[in-house]
Amino acid sequence: MFDGFVDEANITVEAGDGGDGAVSFHREKYVAAGGPDGGDGGKGGDIVFLVDDNLNTLIDFRYKRKFKAERGENGRGANKFGRSAEDLVIRVPRGTVVIERESGRILADMSGSEPVVIAKGGRGGRGNAHFATPTRQIPRFAKPGFKGQKLELRLELKLLADVGLVGFPNVGKSTLISVVSAAKPKIANYHFTTLTPNLGVVKISEGNSFVMADIPGLIEGASEGVGLGHEFLRHVERCRLILHIVDVSGSEGRDPISDYEIINRELRNFSEELANAPQIVAANKCDMASDEQVESFKKYIEGKGLPFFAISAATTQGTAELVAFAYKMLKDLPPLKAFEVDPLPLWQEAEASQSKFEITVEEGVYFVEADWLEDVLRMADMDDYESLQHFQLVLKSSGIIDELERMGIEEGDTVSVCGYEFDYVR
């Protein structure tokens, strides 16, 4: 993008894993048979998004694309729980939409000020103190911590403005926003002076104002990615009201009616909803146009049932009346558009992923592959009968045993689980 303005970025976020439960036994002088006292692991840190109004671009995410929260502490003996990790807070500009890249689902619309948990840290594993029973008094295994959620995200900044200015380059949008607000955009007599959207607060009276956005000039083909228009069309998506600026004087040899139709076509190609948004048409540079030019264009626009204003942004002619009318229209319009979010189930989906497995058969050996099983094996004592019993229970509850039987495994066949080989026994 240009001038340091970035309104789209792809990042990877990974919440912290939960800490492992501890395998420990009470050891104390004069206590002959201390029981299991392994504590639980701590929870991994969440990935939390928070609006920061000091930011107005996503440029920081061009330089740092991977974010990982801390892991929870492992449990310890004497029933001591591991410390939960701190959440990782990612600050974004107001108006940022957080999208899961693979599915396209909108996880969050960062328009408010409340923090949003995007990825949940894993729960801590349970220590061996939890697994003691009257018949299993010396459990030599514990639970590993759950993995934190890992997501591939796309961030899109969609400006929060009540009124969006659209129109061809060099029709006077930057000039208009400079005279009706405190914004000070670059202004020059050549195309694409505006390379970044400019926001300005238009003050009507004490306590009454609205936000206007000067969107970079659209051109024909913008909705297909031609010129700069495609880069910035997303910034008018939220606008409650479109203010369409047209050079009525035809100073660059273009026809005002043709310009008007081309821009509306680009809006429609990008979003039907956007094309149907309320619109005011302002015929700018009327001080340079003939009366016939202004009247002809006015008749055409009013024939479409749209409000029409003849203005000269350079001399401020008609600008006060224009913004007063826009403010009056806004009072009857719905609030700024918020995108409907479809957040991931933070616990269920993260933990369900830890029951996924794949079984292949090669030369009579059944190979079971599952990342989460490696952690279960790591926390078990394979030389201990009760640990093996617990591991077999995990295989049964996860559906692995049922799948092996569906695939036709026979008693005595070899099963390889993450490098460990077992003889299958019914």
Cα gap 250→311, rounded to integer Å: 14
pLDDT, one tens digit per residue, over 248-268 is: 998 878 899 999 998 898 888
Q: Are residues 152 and 195 in the same domain?
A: no
Q: Are residues 93 and 199 in the same domain?
A: no
The sign of the dihedral angle between the CA atoms of 203, 206, 210, 211 is positive
CATH number of the domain residue 112 falls in: 2.70.210.12
CATH number of the domain residue 179 falls in: 3.40.50.300
Q: What would the mean pLDDT of 115-134 be, rounded to a whole number?
A: 88
Of 31-35, 96-100, 196-200, the poorest mean pLDDT is in 31-35
Q: Are residues 35 and 129 in the same domain?
A: yes
Q: Which two tokens stand for residue 267?
A: 């809006």
Q: Are residues 369 and 385 in the same domain?
A: yes
Of 17-26, 156-165, 177-186, 289-298, the poorest mean pLDDT is in 177-186
Range of the domain at 269: 163-330
pLDDT at 188: 43
pLDDT, one tens digit per residue, over 74-108 is: 999 988 999 999 999 999 998 899 999 988 999 99
Q: Which residue type occupies 273?
A: E
CB-count exposure of residue 349 (10 Å: 0-12, 13-18, 19+): exposed
Cα gap 23→138, rounded to integer Å: 10
Please state, as a whole number, how many other Cβ atoms lie within 10 Å of the Cβ of residue 341.
Answer: 14
Of 298, 330, 362, which residue sits at a domain end?
330
Q: Are residues 309 and 363 in the same domain?
A: no
Domain assignment of residue 340, yes or no: no
CATH number of the domain residue 394 falls in: 3.30.300.350
Domain count across the chain: 3
HSE, CB side, 13 Å, CA atoms: give it for residue 135. Answer: 3
Cα gap 38→206, rounded to integer Å: 65
- 294 DSSP assignment: H
Higher per-residue confidence, 177 vs 56: 177
Q: Which two tokens stand for residue 201?
A: 């607060």
pLDDT at 221: 47
Cα gap 317→117, rounded to integer Å: 49
Q: Which residues of 171-194 are buried (b: 16+ CB within 10 A; e: fewer)?
A: bbbbbbbbbbbebebebeeeeebb
Domain assignment of residue 264, yes or no: yes
Going from the C-alpha of 68 to that of each of 14, 43, 84, 354, 363, the distances in angstroms are 5, 14, 15, 19, 41
Q: Is 244 helix (H, G, I), strand (E, B) or coil?
A: strand
Domain assignment of residue 206, yes or no: yes
Q: Which strands make up the sheet holding 358-362, listed edge to edge?
A: 358-362, 365-369, 414-417, 420-423
Higher per-residue confidence, 253 vs 240: 240
Q: Are residues 196 and 325 in the same domain?
A: yes
| Residue in 314, 313, 333, 334 with CA at minimum distance from that of residue 323 | 313
Q: Which residues of 374-401 are buried (b: 16+ CB within 10 A; e: fewer)?
A: ebbbebbeeeeebbeebbeebbeebebb
Of 157, 188, 216, which residue sits at a domain end?
157
Domain assignment of residue 336, yes or no: no
Q: Which two tokens stand for residue 121?
A: 């840290």
Cα gap 338→221, rounded to integer Å: 27
Q: Are residues 182 and 249 in the same domain?
A: yes
Q: Which two tokens stand for residue 43?
A: 């929870």
Q: What is the dihedral of CA 44, 49, 52, 57, to 10 degrees?
A: 120
Cβ(285)–Cβ(247) under 8 Å? yes
Q: Which two tokens stand for residue 349?
A: 């989906």
Cα gap 24→18, rounded to integer Å: 18
- The per-residue pLDDT of the chain, averaged, comes to 84
Q: Residue 224: is its pLDDT beyond 80? A: no
Q: Are residues 212 and 325 in the same domain?
A: yes
Domain assignment of residue 190, yes or no: yes
Residue 262 CB partners (closer than 8 Å, separation 6+): 168, 220
Q: Are residues 151 and 260 in the same domain?
A: no
Q: Are residues 360 and 325 in the same domain?
A: no
pLDDT at 190: 45
Element (H, E) at 319: helix 319-330
Higher per-residue confidence, 138 vs 259: 259
Domain assignment of residue 339, yes or no: no
pLDDT at 172: 87
Of 157, 182, 202, which residue sits at a domain end?
157
Domain assignment of residue 338, yes or no: no
pLDDT, one tens digit per residue, over 301-329 is: 999 999 999 999 999 999 999 999 999 99
Domain assignment of residue 348, yes or no: no
Q: Are residues 143 and 167 in the same domain?
A: no
Please state, as a whole number, how many other Cβ atoms lie within 10 Å of the Cβ of residue 8.
Answer: 14
Cα gap 214→235, rounded to integer Å: 10
Q: Are residues 229 and 146 in the same domain?
A: no
